[in-house]
């Protein structure tokens, strides 16, 4: 019995057309899937690159010292050391300036006290202004004082000499009088700033060599 091809609802041409459409649909699906994957991968790579670039720029703008040996206290220590050096230089300048002035006038002399120690004096009348830096007292008090009806000559002490005389109990505070100091009555009116030099041992007084014993 011969089969009638017209009874088949799907002819060969129709079947071929449907198969072609299915292939195109499947191909399009895989094509767009691949494109999306490429775009997604590209965006991810770009984001990573931007992150690395941003990190690099940040590191260049704000460099961080990762050296474990770096100590934050180094800066204050260097600063403190610098300030100490500056103070020493200022002391030296003050000392040299005043000492040069004293040497030029040739008014420095030495006296030996009752215990045999040599003491340095500078004869200064106060008439000519001189840069005398005081840590205690007032240079305006450098004048003869009358205490109990007696005249007391002003005395300025070097830093170290003031410490020695305080330890010996000769005076305690600025304004204390001292009787019979190398034969004269004196009143301590000031203590010089420390110079780390010979001026720290000096006595400035308005009496010359012949007026003191």
Structurally, the chain folds into a number of domains equal to: 2
Q: Are 209 and 183 in contact (CB under 8 A)?
A: no
User: Which structural domain range is residue 132 located in?
Assistant: 91-211
CA distance 47 to 142: 81
24, two tokens: 């195109």
Q: Do 135 and 207 belong to one domain?
A: yes
| Alpha helical stretches, state H, 132-186 | 159-167
In a domain? residue 140: yes
Q: What is the pLDDT along the chain (213 residues), one digit of tens a residue?
A: 444 444 455 556 666 666 666 676 666 655 555 545 544 444 343 344 444 444 544 544 444 444 444 343 433 445 555 555 555 555 445 445 665 666 556 689 999 998 999 999 999 999 888 889 999 999 999 999 999 999 999 999 999 999 999 999 999 999 999 999 999 999 999 999 999 999 999 999 999 999 999
CA distance 171 to 178: 7
Q: Do 42 and 97 belong to one domain?
A: no
CA distance 188 to 154: 6
Q: Do 107 and 204 belong to one domain?
A: yes
In a domain? residue 32: yes
> What is the end-to-end Cα distance of the chain in Å, rounded?
166
CA distance 134 to 131: 10
In a domain? residue 80: no
Strands (E), 95-165: 108-112, 118-123, 134-137, 145-147, 150-157
62, two tokens: 């704000």
Cβ atoms < 10 Å from Cβ of 100: 10
Q: Do 55 and 102 belong to one domain?
A: no
In a domain? residue 128: yes
Q: How far is CA 136 from the centre of its chain?
A: 27
204, two tokens: 């400035």
Q: Are 201 and 168 in contact (CB under 8 A)?
A: no
Report the predicted TM-score, pTM, of the whole model to 2 decimal places. Answer: 0.55
CA distance 93 to 82: 17
Could you tell me which residues are beta bridge partners of residue 191?
136, 157
Tell me the three state secondary structure of residue 153: strand
CA distance 213 to 186: 14
């Amino acid at each position: 019995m011969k089969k009638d091809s017209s009874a088949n609802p799907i002819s060969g041409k129709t079947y071929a057309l449907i198969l072609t459409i299915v292939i195109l649909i499947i191909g399009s699906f895989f094509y767009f899937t691949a494109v999306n994957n490429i775009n997604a991968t590209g965006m991810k790579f770009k984001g990573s690159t931007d992150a690395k670039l941003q990190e690099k720029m940040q590191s260049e703008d704000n460099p961080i010292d990762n050296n474990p040996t770096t100590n934050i206290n180094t800066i204050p220590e260097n600063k403190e050391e610098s300030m100490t050096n500056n103070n020493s230089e200022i002391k030296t300048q003050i000392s040299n300036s005043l000492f040069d002035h004293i040497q030029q006038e040739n008014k420095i002399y030495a006296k030996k006290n009752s215990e045999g120690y040599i003491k340095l004096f500078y004869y200064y009348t106060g008439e000519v202004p001189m840069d005398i830096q005081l840590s205690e007292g007032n240079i305006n008090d450098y004048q003869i004082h009358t205490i109990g009806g007696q005249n007391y000559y002003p005395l300025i002490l070097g830093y170290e000499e003031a410490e020695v005389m305080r330890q010996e109990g000769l005076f305690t505070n600025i304004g204390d009088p001292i009787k019979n100091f190398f034969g004269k009555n004196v009143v301590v009116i000031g203590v010089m700033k420390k110079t780390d030099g010979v001026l720290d041992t000096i006595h400035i007084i308005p009496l010359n060599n012949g007026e003191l014993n």
